[in-house]
Amino acid sequence: MNFSLLIPQLLNGLQYGVLLFLLAAGLTLVFGIMSFIN
């Protein structure tokens, strides 16, 4: 297994996961404060 490609790929996946988490948390806070109902 090529570890020179594995480490950056893991870091990219972690960055993408954190980005999605921040986006979801922000939307949850915004819609929670607005008490937005479908």
pLDDT band at 1 (very low <50, low <70, confident <90, very high): low
Domain with 12, as residue range(s), is 3-37
Looking at residue 2, its pLDDT comes to 75
* Mean pLDDT, residues 18-33: 93
* Mean pLDDT, residues 2-24: 94
Distance CA 7, CA 10 (A): 5
Looking at residue 35, its pLDDT comes to 79
**Which CA distances in Å does 35 have to 4, 5, 25, 31?**
47, 45, 15, 6
Domain count, the chain: 1
Q: What percent of the chain has pLDDT over 90?
A: 58
> Model pTM?
0.71
Q: Does 12 score more than 70 pLDDT? A: yes
